[in-house]
Structure 1
Amino acid sequence: MSTEELREEQQFVSGLYARLDALREEAETAVRASLRQVGNGLQARLERDIMVAERSGLLAAFDAGENGLVFGRLAFRDGRDHHIGRIGIRASDTERTPLVIDWRAEVARPFYLATGHTPMGLRRRRHITTEGRAVTALHDEILDLSDTTRTGHESADADEVLLAALDSARTGRMHDIVQTIQAEQDRIIRAPHHGVLVVEGGPGTGKTVVALHRAAYLLYAHRELLAKRAVLIVGPNPAFLGYIGEVLPALGETGVLLATLGELFPGVTATGTDTPAAAEVKGRAEMADVLARALADRQQ
């Protein structure tokens, strides 16, 4: 196994975190400076609040990148080479080519979809495993069989990274799957934004975590539109919302509202419980179709 490859990736990751720290310091300084501005008049206060909100959102994204900032690398046949991570980071404010590409960007799709049969222009795909800011393992998948270059990190099992994620310790909270999104999940996450999208599946098949990643993707692809309308995640109870509550912040998205059905009417919190008969009616499969139609009618 090549230690040179590990050393190279560690050097890149260390430089990336140095850039992250600098960006975080810049954002924190801007927030502090904005909060010290008193200003006269409504316009001045509005501009200050907008600046604070924007910089605070940046800080949330930078905090999200602290763990698992970069987890992939794409080597294309045409010589392009991109690192894939939780958030996009540029070397400077004027640099157009990013150091690391946001997983939601279109150029990152081959990381999730490319296969030996359909390599999508890739020569090889690398999975980068980190603990904190240290690179601990590399797993390379050869997608261009004519490429004879070997790094010593070629993986005999293409699902090795996925299996390692499934075997990882459970914490009682749902985690993001940004490093191991499968092709079927990616198609749902990046589906066009044309209204209601219903995802069906049995218990434990990943519907909720895919829906949360879709929310993160839509906020990336349609941020201006959704920032005006807001995004609401509705859950059956507070325990469920607590279980999923860390997924979107881990993806850099903190401006999403979470609520139970009993909290949807402003200023009112429902405390009653359904009778067994009412619960049975609400639990019927056809109720999902009724809700989908109602949502579709509302958007028309």
Structure 2
Amino acid sequence: MTTTPSAAATDALARERRHHDACRAALARMVEGAEERVVGGADVSASGADAEVLGYEFRSHAKAMRELPQAPLFFGRLDFADAEDAGAGEHRGQRYYIGRLRVSEHPSVPPLVVDWRAPVSRAFYQAGARDPQGVAVRRRFGWAPGSKGDSADLTGMEDEPLGQDEPVGKGGHDDGVGSRIVAGEIERPRVGPMRDIAATIQPEQDDLVRGELAASVCVQGAPGTGKTAVGLHRAAYLLYTYPHRVQRSGLLILGPNRTFLRYIAEVLPSLGETGVRQSTVSDEIRGRYAVRAHDDEAAALVKHDARMAEVLRRALYARVVAPPADAEVAVADGAYRWRVPLGELERIVADVREEEPPYAVGRERVRSRVVRAVREQAERRAGPQNNTWVQKVGRARSVSGFLDAVWPRVRADEVLAEVLGDAETLAAAAEGVLADAEQRAILWGRPPRSHKSAKWSAADLVLLDEIEGLLERPAGYGHIVVDEAQDLSPMECRVIARRSDFGSLTVLGDLAQATTPWAARSWAEVLTHLGKPDAAVAPLTTGFRVPRAVVGLANELLGRLDVDVPPARSLRGDGELRVREVADVTAAVVEAVRGALGREGSIGVIAADHDVERLRTALDAAGIGSAGPDELGARVTLLPASVAKGLEYDHVVAAEPAAIVEAEARGLHRLYVVLTRAVSRLDVLHSRPLPWTAGL
């Protein structure tokens, strides 16, 4: 790492500020130009359809430009070596500023700022003392926290000479956080929603971000390793690199709950990408059904089990029957009456059934083949028939009546209501699949009068989606990013798999943080249910956010979690950990929060769900206001352990770990989540023995 004499540094900083002013002016002209294209409209010589498409593209581009967040326009610079043998290639002697989006004065001239996703920008993240990749100097810029892009907020810069026999560890990238600016950005107090990490992406993260669109990948990320940020930046990279393919087929971000989605909602817009759908599995399948019932754990476990897919398939296709002995299709056609004999009808139904198409497709396939049989007879006698004639035959009462008899129309809620409401139907569909006790667990005690009055649980909606997928293939996405995937049930995985049949997945999670009763113990199991059994599993074990002391405490739990996960490590040695036994946990929480308020950053108080209201009352009585987890940016947040996953706070106060563990079946996993929410300081307050203490 090199520094410049004070006067020279001041002059260099002034030049960089002037360059940023020029970039801001150029960006303003880009926004103005986008607006002018909308006003001017599409090319007047284009056809009406083409003009409409162009107009839509212009309006979309202008809207995206208007919605760009105010922020510094560059965070780094690459100066490529000028020597012929330096390996700079076509970039020899060139200088590039790296930012969150491309800024240019004109499309025909080199850009003032290169997008961080452009191929040349990769050297900013990957170059190091061992492999400078043609870079002579990498410069990082330091901006005032919360800067909206005022050039005066450019407060410092840092040069890293590469390819000059610089000792490993001094160039900034070979040890991960050798850069003072990178370390400062990573350790900056966390208040409000999640920020992008475009300025601080590490080489192993960059490899995952820039993976091919067609490749599915699973990231097993320890706490603080940036797995969520990697997934979001990968989404932004794919949108940039494959714009037409991704936009045509769509990109979906799936999170565990809406609180988490609100927390990450600003990352993609900050990278210049808007309009990406961010949702939960529950929101994707809710459709016309509402959750109005609740399953006990025994029923939920069975409903989320992958075996339910076979039970539902059997129940649906049990409605398809062979034509009865007296079946016949006879279609009147003027003076003629065309008949399809029983044997041919039997063959048609058997052939379609063997092809295993979606149920609704199969019904129409039977119809079309019956019509074809009629048409062949008619054409042998009267010559070719037109489409109007074909459609008329397809609507004939005899054809429709035959279809209703052998391959009837059906709705997903009809099928599920019969499975859950009728013991004989369930027993027939579940024979050899579910045990008697499992069947009793999901059978309704008091069936509704009809499927229309059924009250569905959250697990039922997953089953309804399974049946609807059997009826007709749902629209899919070109790419889906699935976060906190370790908590997905096998049946929820199938929901996602149906929507990514022809697309790829980025699967993010940590098996050590799996807290649902149906969570898997291995990624191979999850990926199989997701329909991507061959996806590579990439571990991220080096943490940049969670301090070493906190990671060490969490690692003490790993041996008891029954998952094959390597221990995490952290490059941060600056954190604080206090584990205190106290007589009164509530009073100690108030004291700890009051002390934390004297320092910078957000404060998260996390407790067992049933203890939250008692702690809120105590904080209120002490004059300390607290917000819920949905109120992003609050100074003090009080939240139940069940919703802490994915969130981060500078200072975490974990109240009574034993109560957190006892609150649910996988309580140790939940505690692991709670302990790793702290990115600077952690207070663990307990009056009962600690769950990781020997003998407990």
Normalised TM-score (structure 1): 0.84
What is the CA distance between 1:45 and its match in structure 2? 4.5
Structure 1 stretches of 4+ moved >6 Å: 40-43
1:128 matched residue in structure 2: 141
Map 1:110-189 onto structure 2 (within 5 A). 110-130=123-143, 131=147, 132-134=149-151, 135-145=154-164, 158-189=178-209
**Residue among 261, 264, 285 paired with 2:281:** 261
What is the CA distance between 1:194 and its match in structure 2? 2.8
2:105 matched residue in structure 1: 91
Equivalent-residue separation in structure 2 for 1:99 and 1:43 (angstroms): 32
**Residue among 272, 279, 292 paired with 2:527:** 292
Equivalent-residue separation in structure 2 for 1:99 and 1:32 (angstroms): 27
The 8 Å contact of residues 31 and 62 in structure 2, kept in 1 or not, is answered as: no
Equivalent-residue separation in structure 2 for 1:260 and 1:228 (angstroms): 21
Larger radius of gyration between Structure 1 and Structure 2: 2
Tell me: higher relative CO, structure 1 or 2? Use CA pairs within 8 A at least 6 residues apart. Answer: 1
**Residue among 221, 238, 251 paired with 2:241:** 221
1:108 matched residue in structure 2: 121
The 8 Å contact of residues 186 and 200 in structure 2, kept in 1 or not, is answered as: no
Assess, with a 3 A threshold, how the Cα gap between structure 1 residues 15 and 44 changes in structure 2: closer, same or farther: closer
The 8 Å contact of residues 89 and 101 in structure 1, kept in 2 or not, is answered as: yes
The 8 Å contact of residues 262 and 269 in structure 1, kept in 2 or not, is answered as: no
- Structure 2, unmatched stretches of 5+, are 1-5, 83-92, 302-514, 535-696
1:205 matched residue in structure 2: 225
What is the CA distance between 1:7 and its match in structure 2? 1.0
SS in 2 for 1:285: coil
What is the CA distance between 1:270 and its match in structure 2? 5.3
1:242 matched residue in structure 2: 262
2:507 matched residue in structure 1: none
What is the CA distance between 1:263 and its match in structure 2? 1.1
Assess, with a 3 A threshold, how the Cα gap between structure 1 residues 268 and 137 changes in structure 2: closer, same or farther: farther
Equivalent-residue separation in structure 1 for 2:54 and 2:95 (angstroms): 40
Assess, with a 3 A threshold, how the Cα gap between structure 1 residues 23 and 267 changes in structure 2: closer, same or farther: same
Assess, with a 3 A threshold, how the Cα gap between structure 1 residues 182 and 105 changes in structure 2: closer, same or farther: same
2:95 matched residue in structure 1: 81
The 8 Å contact of residues 71 and 128 in structure 1, kept in 2 or not, is answered as: yes
SS in 2 for 1:124: strand
Stretch deviating more after TM superposition (77-86 or 173-182): 77-86
The 8 Å contact of residues 252 and 278 in structure 2, kept in 1 or not, is answered as: yes
Equivalent-residue separation in structure 2 for 1:47 and 1:119 (angstroms): 43
The 8 Å contact of residues 75 and 142 in structure 2, kept in 1 or not, is answered as: yes
Query: Between the two proteins, what is the percent identity of the paired residues?
Result: 35
Stretch deviating more after TM superposition (20-29 or 119-128): 20-29
Assess, with a 3 A threshold, how the Cα gap between structure 1 residues 231 and 70 changes in structure 2: closer, same or farther: same
SS in 2 for 1:48: helix
1:54 matched residue in structure 2: 61
Match for 2:216: what amino acid?
V
What is the CA distance between 1:192 and its match in structure 2? 2.2
Cα RMSD, aligned residues only? 3.0
1:150 matched residue in structure 2: none
Normalised TM-score (structure 2): 0.38
**Residue among 23, 33, 41 paired with 1:26:** 33
Equivalent-residue separation in structure 2 for 1:269 and 1:44 (angstroms): 40
